[in-house]
Structure 1
């Protein structure tokens, strides 16, 4: 059974296979879920951490899957689409938290307290996501074209080793710089970096779940 959804696409366009649908859907879903989960500040090993930190890093590897099946152009399009989705979600949440709640419901204040967007955090998050994932795209592309098409796990490791710190520094400074003491910002950066890198290492095998573009 042919799992290619678009059989009439020109040779220059990537075929949108079932694997591509899965990769794009998981990437977008992980982006949105991790941003909602970030509203919860948990205590892990004595450190305060937003709970989206444990899911968000997997998006870098999922981006690599998208790149593998759709190419650099497809990966860029998905990155910008995810950024737009996150912005839309924040705007929609801002609107619905401003709508008067039904008195019989009784949870309007709690709902608004949790889900009303903090726009500095939203802006820092989206900016970090777009810039870091575009950097991931370029490093991944460079590795495949200039280094080797073998060792798929290594292309993930190399590209994520660039994009994860970029994401971390943009978000930490953009969200908390000049507001919290720089020592605290540094702690946030380092703790998140450790978690994100650990998730990167754990998620590297996912790159073998899809075939290279052109091999489907």
Structure 2
């Protein structure tokens, strides 16, 4: 690969990493707002189906990005993005913690009570999310590359969906369980939120498969890659 192509590949990798980190950090900051999204009015264990946190909206994008990076740049680069995301999330947690320690002025549009209501549970939420995220992302990458080796780089839809479905269940189970354990959410909501969150993520994973195919096609055409060939940025 020529130097100009390597530089272009490096820039794209950095942009994908930026999208990944932004989606992850924002999902941790906005998680306390819940909404209904349901094509049918169904209750599951006392909760509306697809009664979910807005934090779940940007989160599936992180799995799409790691799958794309895994496919084009390889397992090592995907793991690097995951580790960077962990660092970024804990750094954002530090910023929120410092901001909560200083007192608001009397004329501040956002007073101490409002700020603490919105961000008061952020520390526990980020911890819960990071534990879930850590397990789920590494599970996703491991399963993705297992299927990639098994199929010799073919059947992209298979490894994309199988890795994401399993890892998303791990993620949803862990984060909802920890939020209930920390009394941020009541235990009577556990099963309903688990099923709703997982089903929503499965639907997103299925719907994002064409976008993964499109991304892989663009990369292979731009950098003249063969099936199962990866870009080496070193």
SS of residue in 1 equivalent to 2:7: coil
Q: Which moved more, 1:103-112 or 1:91-100?
A: 103-112
User: CA–CA distance in 1 between the matches of 2:13 and 2:86?
Assistant: 19
Which of 99, 105, 115 aligns to 1:96? It is 99
Unpaired segments ≥5 residues, structure 1: 7-15
Which of 4, 19, 44 aligns to 1:26? It is 19
TM-score, length-normalised on structure 1? Answer: 0.85
TM-score, length-normalised on structure 2? Answer: 0.79
User: CA–CA distance in 1 between the matches of 2:64 and 2:230?
Assistant: 16
Q: What's 1:131 paired with?
A: 135
Task: Tell me, yes or no, if the aligned pair for 1:3 and 1:18 is still in contact at 8 Å.
Answer: no
Q: Which moved more, 1:205-214 or 1:194-203?
A: 205-214
User: CA–CA distance in 1 between the matches of 2:30 and 2:212?
Assistant: 25
Q: What's 1:76 paired with?
A: 79
How far apart are residue 117 of structure 1 and its match?
3.8
Task: Tell me, yes or no, if the aligned pair for 2:28 and 2:125 is still in contact at 8 Å.
Answer: no
SS of residue in 2 equivalent to 1:57: helix
SS of residue in 2 equivalent to 1:42: strand
Superposition RMSD in Å? 2.4
- CA 133–104 in structure 1, closer or farther in 2 if over 3 Å, else same: same
Unpaired segments ≥5 residues, structure 2: 39-47, 220-228
SS of residue in 2 equivalent to 1:167: helix
How far apart are residue 215 of structure 1 and its match?
9.1
User: CA–CA distance in 1 between the matches of 2:82 and 2:118?
Assistant: 27
